[in-house]
Chain A
Amino acid sequence: MPSSISLTVNGTHHLIDVYPGELLRTALRRLRIFSLKHGDETGESGADAILFTRTPDDPKSYRIVNSGILLAAQADGASVVTLEGLEGEDAEGAERSRQERLSPRISTLQQQFIECGAIQCGYCTPAQILAAQHLLDKEPRPSEDAVREAIAGVLCRCTGYLKPVQAILRAAAQLQGETPPAPEIDVRDAPATGEWPASDQLPSNGWHDGGPDTQTQTRIVPVTVAPPRTQVVNKPEPKVDAVKLAKGRPVFADDVELPGMLYGGLLTSPVAHARILSIDTADALALPGVHAVQTYADLPRVIYASGGQSYPQPPPYDQVCLDSKVRYVGDRVATVAAETPELVQEALERIRVEYKELPAAFSPEEAMQTGAPVIHDEDDAQMIHDAKRNVAVKLLVDHNDVDAALESADFVFESEYRVHQVQQASIEPHVVITYWDEDDRLVIRTSTQVPFHVRRMVAPLLGLPVRRIRVVKPRIGGGFGGKQEMLIEDLCAHLTIATGRPVKFEYTRQMEFSSARTRHPQRLRFRSGVDASGKLVGMEVRVVADTGAYGTHGLTVQMVTGFRALSTYWLPAARFDCDVVYTNKPVPGAFRGYGAPQALFGLEQHMEEMALAFGMDPTEFKRINWVKEGDSLVMAVAMGEGREGFPQTVESSGLAECVEAGAASIGWDRRRDPDWKAPPDRPHIRRGIGLAICMHGTGIAGLDMGAASIKLNDDGSFNLLVGATDLGTGSDTVLAQIAAEALGVPLDQIVIYSSDTDFTPFDTGAYASSTTYISGGAVLKAAEDVSLQIRRHAAAHMFEGVDADQLWLEDQKIFAPGGRAVSLEKVALHSIHQEEQHQIMATASHMSYVSPPPFAAQYAALEVDTETGQVTVEKAVMAVDCGIAINPVTASGQVEGGMTQALGYALCEEMPYDDNGRLQISRFGDYRILAANEIPELDTILVQTYEPTGPFGAKAIAEIPMDGMAPAIASAIFDATGVRIREIPFTPERVWRALKSEKK
C-alpha cells in the first residue's frame, strides 16, 4: 500500500504517495525531475545523485547521495536539491523576467562544462555538475585532487574526466573573479607532404579562396596542412546540444511518460545451455495489472542476425525473438508487460520454466572439439559455417604466398597472445519505448546507434512493413558499439502489439552485463619473417575468436582484426586464418575499435618481440615497416567487412610526427635513467615506458552511406537534417560545423536534427568511425548544393550581370566581386515570398570507396610493484593524426575518453565466469570502470594532416584511441621488468605470476 511522504524538492514542498519499495529516484522522476538518470541499481554509477538533508534548516547539512539506493519512504521529511534547483531557473515558481525566459540561464559551472567540452553524451553531466557545485559551495578554490574526489562518485564512460575537471577548476577561478585563459588543445600540423588541391573549380572540400578581391583561381597552396581560412571548421565550437545536456533536460529515451504506458521485463536463462521443456505463465498472467506474458510459443519464428549492419546482414542468421532453447546464462526466455515495474518483477518470478540442461562449452577450444555440444542444432539457422563444430564463421584470406615468403625469410618469429571479454558499459542502459501512433504506425523510441538498421531489421520480426514503423533516436547516453545492435526493440514492440499500449523496456545493469553485448575474446598467433635489413617479408595471423552464443558481429569484427593486423605494416605476403566459434557465453558484438584493439595488442607486442629477438630497436623496426603515404593496403580488397573490399592507398599519414611528439610528451628518454627506472628509495618498484602505434579506418569503404538535407529558412538560418546518430561523440556539432563553413554562417545559424526515420534521410548510423567522413561528406555536398542555389537566386535577382560562380557566401551574406553584398535573410525572403518562389534546399548522399586510415602513437609510463604485481599507470599519451580536426575540442575529448576505456581494458575490466558459465560480476564496482580520482595524467596531441578525400581534410578519430593502450602498457611492463605478458588484463596476480615464473 502506498503511504504519503512529505518531501521538499528544490524548495518546493510536495506530499506524494509512494510504495514501500519505491526508490527516491523513481519518485523524483515522477515529479518530472529528469536530471536524475538510471545508471544502475546499486549506487555505483552516481547518475542519480542528489543533494539531500533531513535537516533543511541547516544549509550546510546537504550531502550528495544517490537517489537510486534510497527508498522514497526514507526521504519523508527530507529536502532534496537537484540540478534543476541549483539556480532556481527551472524550479517551480522561480521568478524570471520575460527577457530571461527567452534565453536559457547558464550557470558559470554549466558554461565552463560547455566551453571546455566536458559534455559528451551528457547522461552523467547533471550529476557531475551537481557534485561540482556542491564542492564549490564548500570550497571555492578547490585543488584538482579535491575536484576529482568530488566527482568520483559519478561514473563517466565518455570523457576520461579531464575536461570535466578542467571545467570545474576554471569555473572556480571565474567565480573568484579571475578570467581563466581559453582551454588549450594541443593541435599541431604535421610537416606536410601534401598540398591543398589545385583546381579551376571550387574545391570539393568546400574551402574556397574567398576574399572579395580574389577570383577563384588555379593555385598551389604552399606546404601546409591546416585549412588556411576557415571560420567554423577546425575551431573549438561548443557542442550544439550542450545547453540542454548541461541543464539536464529530458532528452533521453527514458525521459518521457506516455499515457497508459506499461513496463516491460525480460526473464533470462539461469542455465548456460538447455531446452525449454515447458513454460507455465498462468500465475504471472493471473496477477492483476499484468497485461501480457510472451514466450516462444507466442511469437512468430523468424530467423535473423541482430548486428546493426547494412543490408544484407552479414551471416550467420542464428537468432529468433524467443526460442525454445537457451544458449547462455542471460539468454531470452520470456517477456512481461505490466502496470508497474514491481508487478513486472513479480510476474517474472511467477513464470515457471522447466529446463532440460545440456552440456555446455565455455571456450572455443572446448567448443571445437569432437563431441562437443552443438550450440546451434536448430534446422532453420542459416549460413553457419560448420554448426556441428560450433564454427559460426571461417575466414581464410591469402595475399601472395606467405609460406614461401616465410621460407625465404632471414628470420622468422612466432608468438601468441590472448585478449579477453569486456563490456561497453555505457552509463545509460539499453532502453526503448514503443507505441502505436494515431495512424496505427508503430513508433520505436530507442537508445540506438543505428535507427535505420533497426527499422529495417525489426520489420520482418514484427510482421510489419517498414513504412508502418518509425524509429526515433533521442539523445543517447553512450553506446561505444553496444547499441549498434537491434537488441531489445523487437521484444518491446511485440509487447505493444500484444497489449495495444505503450511499453517501456529498460535493461538493468546486471542485464547489461549478462544479456547485452561485449567485446570478442580472441587467441591470436602471429608468425612473421623479416629479411636481413629488417623489412617484413610476410606475416601469418591465426585467430580463434569467441562469439558467444550468437554470431551477430562475429564475421565483421574478426575481419577487422585481420585487416588491422595485416595492414598496419606493409607486407609483401600475408595470410589471415580465423575461426569464429560459438560458446555458451554472453554474446560479443561491436565495441569501439571493432576487432582492432585485439589485433593491435598482438601485433604491437609481436613486432616488439621480433625486433628484440632480431637485435633491432623496436621503434626503428616499426618505423621501417609501417605503411606510409603512397603505400597500398594489400589486404583491403580481400578483406572488406563481410564482403569484398576496395583498393586502398594511404594518402595522408602523420605517424612519424605522432611518434616523435608522443615521445617528447611521455619523456621517452627516461627509459635510460636508472634512478627513474629503479627508484633507490622504493626497492620493489620498477618503472617503464612503452609505445604502440595504431592505424584504424574511416568508415567502411564502398558500404557506409550517409545522407543529409539542408533547407534555408526565412531569416537566413538553415535546418540540417541528418540520419547520422550522435551518441555523445559530438557528431551533430561537427556536421553542423561543416554545413556552417560551407554556407558562410556562424554555427548558431545551423539548426540540426538527428535522427528520426520519418524525418531525416538515411544514414548507416554511428559506427566504424564513419560519421565525420561519410555523413560529413553528405552534409558538405548538400551545403554546396544549397550554396549554389542561393548564389543562383542572388545572381538572377540581386546582382545583375554577375554569374553565380562569381559569388560567395560569408558572414551570413552573399558577396560579389567589388564588395557588394546582400544578406542571406534577404535572399531567403526573396526566394520564398517574392519572386521565382521556391524552397532553397538540397539533399545529398555520400559514400566512399576509400577508408583513409588515421594513425596514432600511444605511450604509457608506469610503475610495477614487483612484490605484488600491481601496475600503476602514471601517464598516458596519445598523439593522433586524424586529418584536420573539424572540432579540436570534441576530437581531443574522443581521445581522452577512448584512452581511459583502453586503460580499463588493459588493467581492470573483465568478465569472469564460474564453472557453469555464470558471470561473476553484475554491477559496477565488480566490473571496474575507472573513476575520476584514479585516472593517470592524460596528454592528447592532435597531429594534423590533410586528407584529400575527407571533408575539409578530416578523417576519423573516434575508435583509434581504444587500439594501442594495452600493447603500450605491455611494452612498458616489459621495459620496467624485462617480463613479457601476452595476455590482458594486467591484473596484479597475472603480473605477479609472470614475474615469479621469470625468476624461476
Chain B
Amino acid sequence: MAILAEYHRPKTLNGALDLLADRTARRVPLAGGTHLVGALETRQRRDVDGVVDLAALELSYICQNDSSLRVGAMTTLTELVEHPQCADLAAGILPATARFEGPQNLRNAATVGGLVALAEPDSELFAALLALNVSVVAVDKDGNESHRLLADFTLSHPRSSHGPVLITGIQLPLVHAKTGHARIARSPMDRCIVAAVAVAAANGDLSRSGTSGGRNRADTTRTALCGVGSRPQIAGGPVLPTSDYKGSGEYRLAMAEVVGRRARAGATGSRP
C-alpha cells in the first residue's frame, strides 16, 4: 500500500528540479509509473515521501534533428516504436525488442526516460538502444543540459551537486543498419535470462550521432548483452554475471557467447 505524503506535477523543468532538490522531503521523479508505483504499492520502496510527476513538462515528443531523432523522456515505449522512423530504424529492432518490455498495457505507460533511468539488466530495448549507440540528454540540478552515451550514462541522486539528475530525452542515430537479436527465456514472452542485440551499420559508422567522438568506430558490429551484469552492456568488456533463480552465473556466461554469436550472425547475415 503506497504511503505518500505528496504528489507534485510541475509545469516547468526548473520547477521539477527545485522540487527534487528540496531537502525538506524525499521526492523522486515519476515518469510513467509502471515501475515506481508498483514499488511504492508493494512497499519495496519506503524511502519516498513524495513524487514529482513529469507529465506536464512537455517531454513527450519525437522529432528529427539532422541525422538523429530526439525522443523526449516522457515518450511512451508504444509511441517510440510506433513512430514510423523508429519503427523502421535498423530493420525494426526497436519494436522487436520493445515487445519484451512487457505487454502493451505496460508499454503504453512506460516511458523512454524510465527505461533509461532503470537500466534493468534484462531490458532488451535498453540493449537495442545501447547497440544503436544512443546518447542520453539530461539536466543537472541547475538545469544545465548534457549529452552522454548511454553506455556511459548513470543518473545522479536528485540532490547531487554533480552530474545529471533528470533525463529529458535520448538522441537516436538514424543509421542504416542490419540487426540481429537472440534471446533465451523461460517462455517465449518472458523477460530474458540472457539476450543480445547486434547492430551492423551499413555505412560502417555507429558513432556519428554520439557526442563522445570516435568511440565505437565503424566497420564493426556493435553488440549489447542483457542478463550478464547489473545492467545491459556492450559486448567485449568483462562479463561477470551473477546467479539468480532464472540462471546461474555459469549458465549466463556460457549463453552470452551463444546469443552474442547468433545476434551478430543475424546482423551480418552469416551463419551463427
- Interface residues of A, Cβ cutoff 8 Å to B: 3, 19-23, 41-44, 46, 49, 52, 54, 63-66, 68-71, 73-74, 76, 131, 149-150, 152-154, 341-342, 344-346, 349, 508, 510, 865, 867-870, 872, 907-908, 910, 912, 920-923, 925, 928, 930-931, 933-934, 985, 987-989, 992-993
Taking the complex as formed, is B2 at the interface, i.e. its CB lies under 8 A from any CB of chain A? yes
The verdict on A65 contacting B108 (CB below 8 Å), with A41-B38, A71-B51 known, is: yes
| B240 interfacial by beta-carbon distance below 8 Å | no
A70→B7 contact, CB < 8 A = no
- Report the bound CA distance from A745 to B5 in whole Å: 60
Provide the bound-state CA to CA distance between A71 and B193, in Å.
31
Determine whether the beta carbon of A341 is less than 8 Å from that of B1: yes
In the complex, which residues of chain B have a beta carbon less than 8 angstroms from the beta carbon of A933?
103, 188-189
Contact B7 A3 (CB under 8 A): yes
Say yes or no for B157: interface residue by CB 8 A criterion: no
Q: Is B33 at the interface (CB under 8 A from chain A)?
A: yes
Q: Given A20-B4, A341-B1, A510-B42, are A988 and B184 also a contact pair (CB < 8 Å)? A: yes
11 A-B residue pairs with CB within 8 Å:
A21-B40, A23-B37, A42-B42, A63-B108, A70-B109, A74-B53, A149-B104, A342-B2, A910-B245, A934-B190, A989-B248
Task: Pick from A64, A76, A346, A920: contact of B108, CB below 8 A.
Answer: A64
Chain A contacts for B251, CB-based, 8 A: 988-989, 992-993
Most-contacted residue by chain A among B103, B184, B189 (CB, 10 A): B103
Inside 8 A of A923's CB, which chain B residues have their CB? 38, 42
Closest to B36 in A: A69
The answer, yes or no, to whether B63 is at the interface (CB within 8 Å) is no
Q: How far is the CA of A398 from the CA of B115 in the complex (A)?
A: 60
Q: Which residue of the partner chain A has the closest CB to B76?
A: A63
* Contact between B38 and A69, CB atoms less than 8 A apart: yes
- Note all chain B residues with C-beta closer than 8 A to A989: 193, 247-248, 251
> In whole angstroms, how far apart are the Cα atoms of A74 and B4 in the complex?
13
Evaluate contact between A988 and B105: CB separation under 8 angstroms: no
Give the CA-CA distance A868 to B182 in the complex, in Å. 11
Q: B105 touches which one: A49, A510, A908, A985 (CB < 8 A)? A: A49
CB nearest to A73 among chain B residues: B7
| A64 closest partner in B (C-beta) | B105
Q: A934–B37 contact, CB under 8 A?
A: no
B96 within 8 A of A: no
Q: Is residue B9 within 8 Å, beta carbon to beta carbon, of the partner chain?
A: yes
Task: Give the CA-CA distance A674 to B59 in the complex, in Å.
Answer: 56
Q: Is B33 a contact partner of A54 (Cβ separation < 8 A)?
A: no
Per-position binary interface string of chain B over residues 62-91, scored 1 when its CB falls under 8 Å from any chain A CB and 0 otherwise: 000000000000001010000000000000
Nearest Cβ on chain A to B255's Cβ, whole angstroms: 6
Instruction: Report chain A residues within 8 Å CB of B193.
Output: 988-989
Are the C-beta atoms of A41 and B42 separated by less than 8 Å? yes
Asked whether, in the complex, the Cβ of B42 is within 8 Å of the Cβ of A73, the reply is no
Q: Chain B, 19-42, contact with A by CB distance < 8 Å: what is the 0/1 string?
A: 000000000001001100110111
Q: Do B186 and A907 touch across chains, with their CB atoms under 8 A apart?
A: yes
* Residues B184 and A868 in contact, CB atoms below 8 Å apart: yes
Q: 10 closest pairs, A vs B, by CB?
A: A153-B103, A153-B105, A912-B245, A21-B4, A21-B2, A42-B38, A345-B1, A908-B186, A934-B188, A63-B108
A920 to B244, CA, bound (A): 9
Residue B162 interfacial (CB < 8 Å): no
Q: Which residue of the partner chain, among B38, B248, B254, B255, contacts A43 with CB atoms under 8 Å?
A: B38
Please determine whether B3 and A342 come into contact, CB atoms closer than 8 angstroms.
yes
B57 at the interface (CB under 8 A from A): no
User: Which chain A residues lie closer than 8 Å to B30 at the CB level?
Assistant: 71, 74
- Cα A43 to Cα B108 with chains together (Å): 12
Q: Which residue of A lies closest to B38 (CB)?
A: A42
Per the CB 8 Å criterion, the residue count for chain B at the interface is 50
Contact check, A988 vs B186: say whether CB atoms are below 8 A apart.
yes
Contact A73 B103, CB 8 Å, known A65-B109, A908-B190, A933-B189: no
Q: How far is the CB of A993 from chain B (nearest CB, A)?
A: 8
- Distance (whole angstroms) from the CB of B53 to the closest CB of chain A: 6
Within the complex, the shortest CB–CB distance from A318 to chain B, in Å, comes to: 29
Contact across chains for A46 and B53 when beta carbons are under 8 A apart: no
Q: Is B181 an interface residue (CB 8 A)?
A: no
Given known A43-B105, A153-B104, A345-B43, contact A20–B7 (CB-CB < 8 A): yes
Rounded to whole angstroms, the CA-CA distance of A910 and B186 in the bound complex is: 11
A-contacting residues, B152-196, CB 8 Å? 184-191, 193
- In the bound complex, how far is the Cα of B270 from the Cα of A271, in angstroms? 53
Do A931 and B103 touch across chains, with their CB atoms under 8 A apart?
A: yes
A46–B103 touching, CB < 8 Å: yes
**CA A69 to CA B9, docked complex, whole Å:** 17
* Nearest CB on A from B72, distance (A): 14
Query: Do A922 and B188 have beta carbons less than 8 Å apart?
Result: no
Instruction: Say whether, besides A70-B109, A925-B191, A508 and B42 are in contact (CB < 8 Å).
Output: yes
Min Cβ gap B93→A in Å is 18
Is A153 in contact with B102, judged by CB distance below 8 angstroms?
Answer: yes
In the bound complex, what is the Cα–Cα distance between A865 and B108 (angstroms)? 33
Q: How far is the CB of A288 from chain B (nearest CB, A)?
A: 15
Instruction: State whether A20 and B245 are in contact (beta carbons under 8 Å apart), knowing that A41-B42, A870-B185, A988-B186 are contacts in the complex.
Output: no
Kindly list chain B residues whose C-beta atoms are within 8 Å of the C-beta of A925: 102, 191
- C-alpha spacing A346/B4, complex, angstroms: 11
B258: Cβ under 8 A from any A Cβ: yes
- For A74, A510, A907, the residue with the greatest tally of chain B CB atoms inside 10 Å of its CB is A74
B232 contacts chain A at the CB level, 8 A cutoff? no
- CA of A3 to CA of B247, assembled, Å: 46
Q: Are B248 and A872 in contact (CB under 8 A)?
A: no
Alpha-carbon gap, A922 to B43, bound state (A): 12
Q: A947 to B42: give the CA distance in the assembly, Å.
A: 50
Name the distance in Å between A728's Cβ and chain B's nearest Cβ. Answer: 22
Contact of A344 among B1, B76, B109, B186 (CB under 8 A): B1
Q: A21-B4, A928-B186 are in contact. List 12 more A-B contacts (CB 8 A).
A: A21-B7, A41-B42, A63-B76, A63-B109, A152-B103, A342-B2, A344-B1, A349-B46, A868-B184, A931-B189, A988-B247, A989-B248
A66 CA / B41 CA spacing, docked (Å): 14
Residues of chain A with a CB closer than 8 A to B108's CB: 52, 63-65
